[in-house]
A and B are shown apart, each in its own frame.
Chain A
């Protein structure tokens, strides 16, 4: 199954990216060989194979419930114009 223009348009909606028609054409041309290669991957029997999403099991490292210093507000808000007081504010 190749990846066609309509599929790319649908994915762009989900990914919140806008592409021009030329860009969609270019991406279709670039991604199709990869998608076709991926689709050809049916030679392996994976019926009884468990997927691995992480190499090692990770455990949530909990700490004592104590108040600690948080990030400096001025440093955090230095990266945005969308500030009002200590809030990020945008039009809804």
Chain B
């Protein structure tokens, strides 16, 4: 297997045994980016300083010092996660030249890693195909005519094509899991509050979550070990102490109660995808899992809740972009109003403007009760559904996406169709529960993701089940023809 497709555990051992230097490793990744990213379009910024960082790790190994399991491993970051001294554009013209004065907490927690670049995304995380970036369109590594999903499409494509060993994405309504499913990689949206959001450029503050995108479950658990944990800089961070998420991976699923919610297997889902998920469930049953049919009656209202809450929060969060302290600024104006309007009109793209308008509409005095507050009330019912169901089962299994990866340009003109790409993922954000997507097979040579959801802070069992799915599925043969 090519070096750039190896798993983190193998790479760590090679570094430790001095079979490979961190500089060689980083050079391999940078060369691969150089060779194929023009076709793929996963990266917006490449970090040239990564080689000197790698040399520092080599010196440490040379001195015989201990290196941590993740240390020196090249990774990438979705470009809405703030990095000091490196641009953070959010895929928007608004932040074309923006350099954050501080690192996000997750970046601080990965300081011993080698950041090779910042990845492409739908502008400010708003989209499901990475076609809404102001800079480029990212392609799906399995078929360059298809989208990689979104909004963390750059991260998922980079991981799937060996352009880094792991990436961090953000998930507001499925933006980690849907691209992970489309690109054939593992994507985890942790419980809301488990990973600090400090330094993540906010889209929907009560929904946003940072999480790992990796090529296998062990790597996912390892990255979660590093990025999770309480942070006083984020008032929504939850203090639950540190855990080692790699520990229980091999526990197996014997005796685990797995719920199959019928609302996630409706007519709008591609039948072939449904069949694949049912196959996975049957295999898990053979391994001793107890399969239970369950109901989540308010599932279908997720769309209503999500678009009221996410767009309202987006309209608030994006009100900070006035071009004065940072961001796009056209210094030709007669009054303040004109300055704000110029900057926001020229800085934001079409999808962002749409979301701001929809969200502002939900929040104006005459509509507040009808839209935003109503959305928040329905949210209560959706949360109640999950709380009830998790009294009966440990985990839930569903498809991650209703369709296979779609063609570039196919849905961009149809907002409803595009929004429906997230129909199976949004309720995990609305309720704050952990949810992971793992590839479970291929249809028409395109990967299919199965989604595993758990109760609050039950990442361990979600990962254990994912590990079992991975064992049953076997190794993925990555597309090396790029």
Contacts and interface: CB of A to CB of B under 8 A. Distances in A.
Interface of A: 3, 7-8, 11-12, 14-19, 23, 27, 30-31, 33-35, 37-39, 41, 44, 46, 49-56, 58-61, 63, 71-72, 75-76, 78-82, 88, 90-92
A59 B235 contact: yes
B129 to A, nearest CB: 15
Given A35-B361, A60-B235, A81-B329, A55 B431 contact: yes
B235 A88 contact: no
B193 interface: yes
Nearest to A41: B304
Interface residues of B, number: 63
Contacts of A88: 324-325
A17 B276 CA distance: 46
Contacts of A58: 235-236
A62 B431 CA distance: 27
B432 A56 contact: yes
Contacts of A12: 357
B374 interface: yes
A50 B380 contact: yes
A15 B316 CA distance: 9
B307 interface: yes
Given A11-B361, A41-B304, 15 more contacts: A12-B357, A15-B344, A17-B345, A17-B348, A17-B353, A23-B353, A35-B361, A41-B374, A44-B381, A49-B381, A54-B236, A56-B236, A56-B432, A82-B325, A91-B339
B98 A79 contact: yes
A79 B99 contact: yes
B101 to A, nearest CB: 4
A79 B415 contact: no
B381 A27 contact: no
A7 B379 contact: no
Given A34-B416, A53-B206, A53-B376, A92 B431 contact: no
B165 interface: no
Contacts of B324: 80, 82, 88, 90
Contacts of A27: 353-354, 357
- The 9 lowest CB-CB distance pairs between A and B, nearest first, are A51-B376, A55-B432, A79-B326, A75-B101, A16-B340, A46-B377, A18-B345, A49-B377, A52-B380
Nearest to B95: A79
Nearest to A63: B232
A79 B206 contact: no
Interface string B343-381: 011001010011011101100100000110110111111
Nearest to B309: A53
A69 to B, nearest CB: 11
